[in-house]
A and B are shown apart, each in its own frame.
Chain A
């Protein structure tokens, strides 16, 4: 239903009015209007564990920023501190230039889409969506109209009278989104909202969320542990590791120029040349990342072009994955690399290469030194 082009165009037509009304919202004194959220030295401890350790981050107005990291890396705790559910032990949070570090969640102009959706089970879908407007004393008629518009915008217009328990996971997810967006917040926080959906629905929702974000112009802060999701949707990604930001950059930056071995491994496949192997192949020490799709698998006799590096090895594994084939090659100099080749040829059964000697070749410009 999300893929229905006709309906989506209708939705777009409605959007400008939503944007206009958004802009009529409360105006804050904004020293730097381009920063929606400013975090400085944000720290949160749980007992002896430092969950978030001195995080500095500026989220720009209208940006889609993803906090990406493994579980326990502190990304969700940062989101919860922005929402106000957790108090930082140290540091400050500013929303649109106003310090809200000590402001309770109900007085912050942000809304959250929860991982488990957190719909109110004793209210209908319509009442769920009206809730935020009701507590802000929006008159009943306007409330109903806005809730209905929000429901229609997530294509659940006919579902207002249902109870949340009568909806599917994807539908609940969209109700949660509508319930947050109907309040026209400055910032929308999303805590792994697609985690419970199946792959197809998740991919559809990724595209939809990105479109909604672009069109309503609200700042989105999106938490996920799924690197594909982060790369697909984000304007910028903050990669979290052990309570801090390991790298902040555009998806291209983070993928093509990973700052650390952790980022190289977490975003994309860990494909590192280290120690002796790096010395032998590149003639330089340190840890180097080469993305698998940059590597060509050629015969041992092939001569590399100028500006290319080559290394010999034995094919340990050949995995056919539909669109491409993955090779794991044990290098003669020690260690192993993965190479991915598009299956653009007609005959792509490369299983016979297993155990064969091959040569891996890549452009030296695709090597990136990463911090250990």
Chain B
């Protein structure tokens, strides 16, 4: 498609503005984390690594980080198992209510987190005897399943059934076909789904607020609690900046996997 010069200039400007809105604030946080100011001000008045040191030593930051990682891993495992099973059921078999189930599976990601949160909170407190770390994991599982499911079902659709038939035709039973053909072709979709699920769980705050048992502080909740406390703003900046840097890696890896599969390869 050819675009006129004028359109191209306008589009370029829009693109720059859009990217600016997304990435300039991230840059500001990174710069502020090295600022000598104790509150969020601009421009920074000096350079210091004091906050990075303090954040690294902070017991509460470390605890919140470990909690978040633990919950994200647990929610991801739950999502991997359930999401994959769902994707195979819905992608491979025709049965009554299939379309409805496929909608119900994807819905949680579209539902406002606050609705999911309140609903789960109601059920957990009224029927299941209150909130714990497990209720939090289940809460995260509801939307983590969706990303795993979406990745896996897209792969199942693209793969078709004939490679598995070919495997059976060549003498491999169901288990061997799974080990030699199905799983290797699924692997990168599973990894991409897992990384996305991990990321979703890791920074979730709304559902977390409603489903976390007492005393459980995930990293996003810690940030929220500390942002407006006196003298904590610089440390919050450091934590946020660190998270930006850490998040780039898994997203990059996830993208590489999906791209590798677009070429039909499957690198892993």
Contact = CB atoms under 8 A, between A and B. Distances in A.
A83 B164 CA distance: 13
A115 B161 CA distance: 12
B267 to A, nearest CB: 10
B176 A135 contact: yes
Contact of A120 (B160, B163, B171, B176): B163
A343 to B, nearest CB: 44
Interface in A94-126: 104-107, 110-112, 114-116, 118-122
Main SS at interface, chain B = helix
Contacts of B172: 106, 131, 135
Given A105-B165, A118-B162, A118-B163, A165 B171 contact: no
B162 A114 contact: yes
A5 interface: no
B53 interface: no
A84 B173 CA distance: 12
B184 interface: yes
A136 B171 contact: yes
B244 interface: no
A121 B168 contact: no
A132 to B, nearest CB: 4
Nearest to A182: B170
B168 A105 contact: yes
Given A104-B168, A114-B165, A122 B185 contact: yes
Interface residues of A, number: 27
Contact of B265 (A104, A105, A118, A165): A165
B264 A121 contact: yes
B5 interface: no
A238 to B, nearest CB: 22
A121 B165 contact: no
B34 to A, nearest CB: 46
Contact of B165 (A85, A122, A163, A179): A85
Given A122-B266, A131-B180, A163-B265, A106 B162 contact: no
Nearest to B263: A165
Q: Which of B160, B166, B168, B172 has the most CB of A within 10 A?
A: B166
B165 A106 contact: no
A115 B165 CA distance: 12
A106 B265 contact: no
B167 interface: yes
A118 B166 contact: yes
A131 B165 contact: no
A358 B31 CA distance: 94
A116 B159 CA distance: 12
Given A116-B160, A135-B176, A122 B169 contact: no
In order of increasing CB-CB distance, the 5 nearest A-B pairs are: A132-B170, A118-B166, A118-B162, A105-B168, A135-B172
Interface of A: 83-85, 104-107, 110-112, 114-116, 118-122, 131-132, 135-136, 163, 165, 179-180, 183
Given A107-B171, A114-B162, A135-B170, 11 more contacts: A104-B168, A105-B168, A111-B169, A112-B165, A116-B162, A121-B185, A131-B172, A135-B172, A136-B171, A163-B265, A180-B169
22 contacts: A85-B168, A104-B173, A106-B169, A106-B170, A106-B173, A107-B171, A110-B169, A114-B165, A118-B163, A120-B166, A120-B167, A121-B163, A122-B265, A122-B266, A131-B167, A131-B172, A132-B170, A135-B176, A136-B171, A180-B169, A183-B170, A183-B171
Interface of B: 160, 162-163, 165-173, 176, 180-181, 184-185, 263-266
